[in-house]
Amino acid sequence: MTYATLLDSEGIASQYLAIIKPRRLADSTIWSIYNVSNTYVQRFPYGQVIDVKADEVVFNLGSSADTMISGEWFYDAESHDLFVNVGADPSTTDFVATYEFYLGTFDAHFNRLPLDSTSRVVYYEPIITKSPEVQASSVDVLFGFLPSSSTSITLSNITHILQEHLYDSSFNKCEIDLYHWLDELTTANVKLISSAVCGSITSTDEQVVISIFDNNERFSEEFRHVNNLDSFYSVSNYANLDLSYFSRPIRKVYGVVDSFIPVNIDYNSNSPSTGNNRTWLCIKPNTNLGSVSTACPASPASTTTRTYLTSADGFRVGDSVWIDSSSGSGFDEFVFVTVVNKTGAHYIEHLAVINSAAASSVIKRSFVGSVTIVKIGVAYYAKYGKHYDEYTDGFGGAGFTLFSTLEADLSMATLTPLDLVYCRIYGNKALPTLSASPLGAVSSTTGNLSKGVIVLYDVLKTYVGLSESQIDLPAFSAGIGSITDEVGFSIPELGQQNYPTFKEILSKLSVTLLSKIFLDDNKITFVQSKPITTIAKTIEDDEILLDSFRYDFDYRDVISDIYLQYAPTEVSTRNETGLSLFYSVVTATNDVAKYVHRIQKQQSFVTYHRDSADAQILATRLAKALGDRRGTLNISTKNRFFDTELGQAITLSRDKIAGTAYIAGQTINKNAVVVSTQKSLDRIIISLDDQKGIQDNQSSW
């Protein structure tokens, strides 16, 4: 039998294995030379070493003590010897070793890696007297990101086996892996149910209590660019930088952002001329920029106000477009798009030009979709290809360069640093890969990476740095197929802000996508809040522990009016200081809240949506979901439901559930969605949301 099948068995023994991985500074005074190749050794009896750093530099694991080269380490588990090679005497180097020790609720000789039957056998000390409760919850019923939870593990200290670890080893943020096993201890009967981190410790003569927290520390880190790109403006990279941006973040854009404030890296306030204040930086990275180009077909023939395209994907109203006729009529034109058509023959419309586009002309839109200059209250609109061109540099930055003819062409006085400069920016169009294949596709509306679920995946994989094995790929693939929301935002959203944390970015994405992002089976997954369509399992009345059923009805969070803010634009009094964000707003109302519950309460939400249609759909759904009372079903049940996860839809089957008149002997089925779990060796506590506001409106969802 396997772990999954054993869950359905009654009376099966249930136990935990735990592997704790503290860190310890190697004793610098006891290194001894091992061989002439600068390999040194010391006895390290505390546990299996799994990682070594020398002055915070990661060393590589060598294949043996006899063949090590500089920068490698090796551990002999039988002799408990730690070998290092730093190319010299290691006594002046701080070596920090991460090691493992093994605990259980039952004594066991088993594999060091419980899911790998080929790993060496170690002894799991039977000193866990109170196992941790594995908790998961969604802070908000409809959306939320990785809510933190904490618990503790209690260990017997009667034999004082932990004494040598507690004083000199560090447990702060060290990993602890918790495995659940059923029946006979075999690899097939074991499952990793939690990878967490340790915190504070309380020790008495009888017991040691170690606090445990979710292993989501990486999401509290601030966003940074990847591939060793500098994330902040510096005068070493940009000698003529506007110094109000010194050490400020260089931004990243997803989708398309209007009224984006660029940074002047050709700054000259003393003697502005047509030879300075020309170069403006916008984003990183400068690869796979969101520019698009297409050809003008031979038929239909373009007119002076309508230009036909092979494809209008990526073109939007307001874009500055360059009709490059170098291979056509030879007469270039520069227009602003007023209409985009993708039905039948693709075309854009614009004000009349002198020369209609000839067949084979190239129609181009830069990733800098438009540039607007405001000078003493008058707006001037620069044209791509005529007044500005794309700029990239060797530091990974991208922006635009204004031509020296700008002022003369626009009948504008010389540009100065006091003038306001805004632009439309299209983010990069590189897609994250899934086993060497693109995950999803670029947006036909923007021509770049702007689909919400793909953006979420890209943040997790490209910027947080999660591997594919740490992400629930089927959930993301399914989401890409069913969730159409598109986003447009910059990181940070204001030029003078600090980088947000990954948690802040992911939390706002969870609101935008009406989804909960959480750990499921130790992988990051997400579930969108929507009407129930698929039931994961049914829990019968006799499987609910006695007197544990409770149904709570809560009216405190009922909202009658939703105000949804989206598509932020920067508002500035000077181009170098983005003072605030201005949002577009859509609203939605639920009369059930007003007339049935007698509640009039407003709440605003901020999302990354770019277009009003997506924002309005979300506002309407929020009004339906939050405009009715919250109903939470709470039960304690048997071990066979240990695999219950957040977001699953479950049917509770019993004779008494609110909502249906009680008739003796009649079974009532109630569908609800899991919003929290609390798992221990003897029971699983599950809370479910009945989603009344969603279920009552499922036909129009």
End-to-end CA distance of the chain: 42
Strand order in the sheet with 368-375: 256-260, 420-426, 368-375, 378-382
Phi and psi angles of residue 559, each rounded to the nearest 5 degrees, phi first? -120, 130
Q: Indicate the pTM of the whole model.
A: 0.84
Query: Do 311 and 346 touch, CB atoms closer than 8 A?
Result: yes
Burial degree of 99 (CB within 10 A; 0-12, 13-18, 19+): buried
What's the pLDDT at 679? 84
Which run of H or E residues covers position 124? Answer: strand 121-124
pLDDT band at 640 (very low <50, low <70, confident <90, very high): confident
What's the pLDDT at 426? 98
Distance between CA atoms of residues 164 and 44, nearest Å: 12
What's the pLDDT at 529? 94
- Condensed to tens digits (0 to 9), the pLDDT of residues 386-433 reads 999 999 999 999 999 999 999 999 999 999 999 999 999 999 998 887
Query: Do 602 and 669 touch, CB atoms closer than 8 A?
Result: no
Torsion of CA 176, 182, 183, 189, to 10 degrees: -90
What's the pLDDT at 274? 97
Strand order in the sheet with 39-43: 32-33, 39-43, 81-85, 72-76, 60-61
Which run of H or E residues covers position 123? Answer: strand 121-124
What's the pLDDT at 579? 64
Q: Hey, what are 684's tokens? A: 């699983």
What's the pLDDT at 151? 82
Phi and psi angles of residue 252, each rounded to the nearest 5 degrees, phi first? -120, 140
Average pLDDT (193-203) is 88
What's the pLDDT at 270? 95
DSSP letter string, 453-469: HHHHHHIIIIII---GG
DSSP letter string, 306-341: EEE-S--TT--TT-EEEEE-TTTTS--EEEE--EEE
Which run of H or E residues covers position 165? Answer: helix 163-166
- Condensed to tens digits (0 to 9), the pLDDT of residues 305-336 reads 999 999 999 999 999 999 998 755 568 999 99
pLDDT band at 593 (very low <50, low <70, confident <90, very high): very high
Distance between CA atoms of residues 701 and 698, nearest Å: 5
What is the Cα Rg of the chain in Å? Answer: 31
Q: Hey, what are 599's tokens? A: 């509640």
Query: Do 569 and 258 touch, CB atoms closer than 8 A?
Result: yes
pLDDT band at 131 (very low <50, low <70, confident <90, very high): confident
Average pLDDT (332-353) is 96
Query: Do 102 and 125 touch, CB atoms closer than 8 A?
Result: yes
List residues bridging with 525 in a β-sheet: 518
**pLDDT higher than threshold 70 for residue 573:** no
Distance between CA atoms of residues 617 and 530, nearest Å: 13
- Condensed to tens digits (0 to 9), the pLDDT of residues 505-535 reads 999 999 999 999 888 777 899 899 999 999 9
- The mean pLDDT of the chain is 91
Distance between CA atoms of residues 402 and 387, nearest Å: 6
Alpha carbons within 13 angstroms on the beta-carbon side of residue 295 total 7
What's the pLDDT at 502? 95
Average pLDDT (470-477) is 91
What's the pLDDT at 416? 96
**Helix, strand or coil for residue 597?**
coil
pLDDT band at 682 (very low <50, low <70, confident <90, very high): confident
**pLDDT higher than threshold 50 for residue 577:** no
Query: Do 659 and 669 touch, CB atoms closer than 8 A?
Result: no
What's the pLDDT at 27? 93
Question: Amino acid identity, residue 124?
Answer: Y
**Helix, strand or coil for residue 617?**
helix
Q: 410 or 435: which carries more pLDDT confidence?
A: 410
pLDDT band at 138 (very low <50, low <70, confident <90, very high): low
Phi and psi angles of residue 9, each rounded to the nearest 5 degrees, phi first? -90, 145
Over pLDDT 90: what percentage of the chain? 72
pLDDT band at 140 (very low <50, low <70, confident <90, very high): low
Q: Which of 19, 92, 98 lies closest to 55, judged by CA?
A: 92
Distance between CA atoms of residues 75 and 100, nearest Å: 12
Average pLDDT (665-672) is 89
**pLDDT higher than threshold 80 for residue 141:** no
Domains and CATH numbers, the chain: 3-218 (no CATH), 292-365 (2.40.10), 530-555+629-701 (2.40.10)
What's the pLDDT at 614? 97
What's the pLDDT at 331? 81
pLDDT band at 216 (very low <50, low <70, confident <90, very high): confident
Over pLDDT 70: what percentage of the chain? 96
Query: Do 414 and 407 touch, CB atoms closer than 8 A?
Result: yes
What's the pLDDT at 576? 46
What's the pLDDT at 375? 93
Q: Which of 177, 182, 217, 176 lies closest to 193, judged by CA?
A: 177
Query: Do 363 and 321 touch, CB atoms closer than 8 A?
Result: yes
Q: Which of 580, 318, 324 lies closest to 425, judged by CA?
A: 318
* Bond from prior residue into 568 cis (ω within 30 degrees of 0): no
What's the pLDDT at 283? 97
Q: Hey, what are 430's tokens? A: 């590189």
- Condensed to tens digits (0 to 9), the pLDDT of residues 45-89 reads 999 999 999 998 999 999 999 999 999 999 999 999 999 999 899
